[in-house]
Amino acid sequence: MERGACIAFVCLVVCAVPFPIGTPLSAEPATEVTPVASTSQPRGLTFTDHTGRAVSEREFLGRYMLVFFGYTHCPDVCPADLMIMSAALRELGEAGEAVQPVFITFDPERDTPVVLAEYVRHFHPRLTGLTGSPAEIAAATRSYGVIFERDGDEEGSESADYSLRHTALTYLIGPDGKGVAIFDHDSDPVETAAEILALLEQGPAGAVAGGSP
């Protein structure tokens, strides 16, 4: 447990929506506003991946996941965070192969599997894109504490051009499906990689220590 202490528990957004059955791994006071730790998530989320295949969250068990929620029409923020994810994985080199990068859209109306397939390939060869029914996506965002809302339509823009206000955190999920760390928007890829590496070396046991019986 203490090994997670280097990770500051910064609860900017996540607390606004309760993470289910979360047991914080670290209770150390925040010294810097970069990473974060904690939480677990329920099982049973389902999605459609960018190849059109129905997938369950359970299929990802046994592996680490780096998860970012966004939408493909996001012009500025989401591409930047996905590039950071990609750069952090590159920085991790071989160790990064243990981590499955995942992009989950909260705009399933526009982000169909076909749209996601075209999008994810630009960021990382192994990036999996997940969409789903509005209910599936609502369950996923609730589970992660992701908040998004439609912005007021801009003058001169049609409704198809809407943009979304949203949180922009990246979640490291352990092989047991529980949250291990949260990285802030616009984190440094090298620091992110170093933190992920430390957590990987600590092993799944470290991730499990907080929550499992």
Partner 1 sequence: MKSALMVFVSILGLAGCATSDEFREGDVVIESPWARSSAGRTATGVVYLRLSNLAAEPEQLLGVTTPIAAGASVHRTMREHGMMSMQPLQALALAANETVSLEPGGLHIMLMQLGSPLVEGETFPMTLNFERAGSIDIHVTVRGVGAMSAHE
Residues forming the site for partner 1 (CB under 8 A):
12-13, 16, 72-73, 75-77, 79-80, 82-83, 86, 114-119, 122-123, 147, 151, 154, 156-158, 160-161, 163, 165-169, 185-186
In the complex with partner 1, which residue's Cβ is closer, 47 or 103?
A: 103
In the complex with partner 1, which residue's Cβ is closer, 13 or 193?
A: 13
In the complex with partner 1, which residue's Cβ is closer, 124 or 178?
A: 124
Can you tell me whether residue 153 is helix, strand or coil?
A: coil
Smallest gap from Cβ 206 to partner 1, in A, equals: 26
Smallest gap from Cβ 44 to partner 1, in A, equals: 27
Smallest gap from Cβ 31 to partner 1, in A, equals: 19
In the complex with partner 1, which residue's Cβ is closer, 26 or 86?
A: 86
Smallest gap from Cβ 22 to partner 1, in A, equals: 17
Identify the bridge partners of residue 64 per DSSP, sorted by sequence position: 99
Tell me the pairing of strands 35-37 and 46-49. unpaired
Q: Give the Cα-Cα-Cα angle 94, 116, 34 (nearest 5 degrees).
A: 55
Token pair of 95, please? 């160790």
Q: Give the Cα-Cα-Cα angle 45, 131, 113 (nearest 5 degrees).
A: 140
| Strand ordering across the sheet containing 64-70 | 35-37, 179-183, 170-173, 64-70, 99-105, 128-131, 46-49, 54-56
Smallest gap from Cβ 70 to partner 1, in A, equals: 9
Residue type at 48 in one-letter notation: T
Please state, as a whole number, how many other Cβ atoms lie within 10 Å of the Cβ of residue 134: 10
In the complex with partner 1, which residue's Cβ is closer, 100 or 167?
A: 167
